[in-house]
């Protein structure tokens, strides 16, 4: 991760706050009267879910937030490098049976993380419906999974890297698009 790269700031803290507000509005509009629970994917999906849940309290909607660690559901176990996954564990302290679940991740890319998360969710119960909310959709899906709620759609190339930083997880706030210099790109 130390190779030279261009960094372009895509969302500043205010734009992230607007994005969170936008997700909250969309969810309130479509889920209003239903029994709804949020589940965030570790780590930043959890932060996003908590922020949207906090925003919805302003609309008089209180949704519980669970957390999901998808490491044990991934399909790239054989391809792990020297970075061994430290498991964060999942915490879904409510029943998912028969309710409407909104799954949160900060970025959707290939869709494989979401695929793993769906498997994980099903092991906690049988929701009536599962939807997906993301802060950034950067394209390049490898499986047919699409988000239902999106704050920002971003055209990217595969070489680029979308980096979301949240105050709670990273000590700073912003979304950047990082492009490796051509000379060092594989």
Q: Do 66 and 50 meet the contact criterion of CB atoms below 8 Å apart?
A: no
Q: Is the Cβ–Cβ distance between 91 and 42 less than 8 Å?
A: no
Q: Looking at 50-58, 70-78, 132-140, 158-166, which segment touches another protein (CB under 8 A)?
A: 70-78
* 3 token code pair: 């190779």
Q: Given candidates 32, 58, 85, 98, which one binds another protein under the rule CB under 8 A? A: 85
Q: Looking at beta carbons only, is 35 or 123 nearer to another protein?
A: 123
Q: Which residues contact 37 (CB under 8 A, 6 or more apart)?
A: 63, 64, 65, 66, 94, 96, 99, 100, 101, 102
Q: CA-to-CA distance for 2 and 173, rounded, in angstroms?
A: 21
Per CB under 8 A, contacts with another protein among 91-110 are 91
Partners of 17 in the β-ladder: none
Q: Based on CB atoms, which residue is closest to another protein, 80 or 140?
A: 80
> Any contact of residue 118 with another protein (CB under 8 A)?
no
Angle of CA points 75, 81, 87, to nearest 5°: 65
Of these, 38, 63, 73, 104, which contacts another protein (CB under 8 A)? 73
Residue 145 in the binding site for another protein (CB under 8 A)? no
Burial of 102 (0-12, 13-18, 19+ CB in 10 A): buried
Compute the least distance from the CB of residue 181 to another protein, in Å: 25
Q: Please give the Cα distance from 123 to 113 (Å, whole number).
A: 16
Q: How far is the CB of 1 from another protein (least distance, A)?
A: 11
Q: Pick out residues in 11-40 that bind another protein (CB under 8 A).
A: none
From candidates 71, 110, 176, 179, binder to another protein by CB under 8 A: 71
Residue 123 beta carbon to another protein: minimum distance, rounded to whole angstroms: 4
Query: Which residues make up the interface to another protein (CB under 8 A)?
Result: 69, 71-74, 77-78, 80, 82-91, 119-120, 123-124
């Amino acid at each position: 991760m130390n190779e030279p790269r261009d960094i372009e700031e895509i969302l500043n803290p205010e734009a992230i706050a607007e994005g969170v507000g936008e997700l909250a509005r969309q969810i309130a509009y479509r889920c209003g009267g239903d029994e709804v629970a949020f589940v965030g994917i570790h780590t930043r999906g959890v932060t996003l879910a908590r922020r949207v849940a906090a925003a919805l309290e302003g609309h008089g909607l209180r949704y519980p937030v669970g957390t999901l660690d998808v490491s044990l559901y991934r399909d790239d176990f054989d391809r792990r490098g020297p970075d061994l996954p430290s498991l964060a564990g999942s915490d879904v302290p409510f029943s998912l049976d028969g309710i409407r679940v909104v799954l949160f991740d900060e970025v959707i890319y290939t869709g494989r993380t979401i695929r793993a998360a769906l498997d994980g969710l099903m092991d906690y119960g049988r929701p009536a419906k599962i939807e997906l909310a993301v802060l950034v959709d950067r394209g390049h899906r490898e499986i047919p999974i699409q988000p239902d709620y999106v704050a920002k759609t971003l055209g990217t190339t595969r070489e680029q890297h979308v980096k979301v930083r949240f105050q709670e997880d990273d000590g700073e706030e912003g979304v950047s698009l990082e492009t490796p210099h051509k000379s060092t790109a594989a």
